[in-house]
């Protein structure tokens, strides 16, 4: 499998991720127990997007010097297409997290801690899944057709509005299993995941929520990772685009938490993107679609979706006044 990723590139990227996580952790520690304001979340979101953009620019400069302008242009467009795709699909993560936190009545101050651990877990799990996926694609190229068919199916579920209906926190198998096999306290114990009672270790509901947060990311990774392999099969681009999108997930959660109900047309936009990406995969042997078409389709679809959602929200507000 062709890749631009070298050992030094991977080390440099993971070094950048580590630095950004340390900065995020220090910011969390200094403001522990405080609710994240929308303004603060907006600043952090801008910062994460800026880091992702600067990384793309730095990657282009590096590739332009080492591999030529043509390779640099192609790979960086793949990176930004993958980043936008993962960023848009991550919004669905936010909606599910909102439902999980609402179901367990998690206060905003504790949501910060849960999401910090959730993002760390997502980075580890996504990295593992991506390398496994890259190995499968390299060894069994036909798996791309399975990915494509799955994405088309998932996309149509979004378009039919079934994805949201299928999400019921209490029906999650992992939640039922944990409640059956673990000692769980009936109430929260501040920000603790485990407590000792009568000499026995008990999990708190906060631990259940953490597991559900991680499980939800695994579920959504099943959609997002095959989708990005339709954009590029270069594992370095897949990894960097994926993790850059995940790094800003916590800030995006607090930014969008108050606007979740206003994203009326977003699921339809995501469904359309998944169907498009899926058909692109299925047509690999018939037509090789230039990366700029994929990037343009994602950008235009997201822009139209956002515009329609804003219009719908304004009309709804006017009719309820």
Q: pLDDT in tens for each of the 321 residues of the chain?
A: 578 988 999 999 999 999 988 887 776 566 655 667 777 888 888 999 999 999 999 999 999 999 999 999 999 999 999 998 888 888 777 777 887 888 888 887 788 888 888 888 889 988 998 988 888 887 877 777 887 888 788 788 878 865 554 556 666 777 788 888 888 888 888 888 888 888 888 988 888 888 888 888 887 777 778 888 888 889 999 999 999 998 888 888 887 776 665 667 777 887 888 888 888 878 777 777 777 787 788 888 888 887 888 787 766 555 655
Tell me how far apart the alpha carbons of residues 278 and 49 are, in angstroms, rounded to a whole number: 26
Is residue 247 a contact partner of residue 47, using CB atoms and an 8 Å limit?
Answer: no
Q: CA–CA separation, 182 vs 208, rounded Å?
A: 10
Euclidean distance between CA atoms 260 and 253, whole angstroms? 9
- The C-alpha atoms of residue 220 and residue 182 are separated, in whole angstroms, by 25
């Amino acid at each position: 499998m062709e890749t631009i990723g070298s050992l030094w590139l991977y080390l440099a990227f993971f070094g950048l991720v580590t630095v950004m996580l340390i900065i995020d952790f220090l910011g969390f520690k200094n403001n522990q127990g405080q609710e994240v304001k929308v303004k603060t979340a907006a600043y952090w979101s801008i910062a994460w997007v800026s880091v992702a953009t600067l990384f793309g620019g730095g990657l282009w400069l590096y590739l332009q010097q080492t591999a030529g302008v043509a390779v640099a242009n192609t790979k960086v467009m793949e990176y930004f297409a993958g980043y936008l795709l993962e960023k848009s699909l991550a919004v669905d993560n936010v909606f599910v997290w909102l439902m999980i936190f609402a179901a367990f009545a998690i206060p905003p101050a504790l949501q910060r801690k849960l999401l910090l651990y959730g993002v760390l877990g997502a980075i580890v799990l996504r990295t593992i899944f991506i390398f496994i996926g890259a190995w499968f694609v390299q060894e069994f190229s036909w798996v791309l057709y399975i990915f494509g068919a799955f994405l088309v199916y998932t996309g149509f579920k979004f378009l039919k509005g079934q994805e949201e209906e299928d999400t019921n926190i209490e029906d999650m198998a992992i939640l039922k299993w944990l409640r059956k096999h673990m000692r769980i306290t009936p109430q929260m114990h501040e920000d603790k995941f485990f407590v000792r009672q009568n000499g026995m270790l008990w999990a708190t509901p906060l631990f259940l929520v953490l597991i559900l947060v991680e499980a939800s990311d695994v579920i959504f990774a099943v959609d997002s990772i095959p989708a990005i392999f339709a954009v590029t099969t270069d594992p370095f681009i897949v990894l960097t685009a994926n993790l850059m999108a995940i790094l800003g997930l916590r800030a995006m959660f607090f930014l969008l938490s108050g606007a979740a109900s206003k994203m009326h047309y977003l699921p339809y936009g995501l469904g359309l993107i998944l169907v498009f990406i899926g058909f692109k995969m299925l047509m690999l042997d018939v037509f090789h679609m230039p990366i700029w078409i994929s990037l343009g389709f994602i950008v235009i679809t997201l822009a139209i979706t956002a515009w329609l959602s804003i219009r719908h929200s304004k009309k709804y507000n006017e009719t309820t006044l």
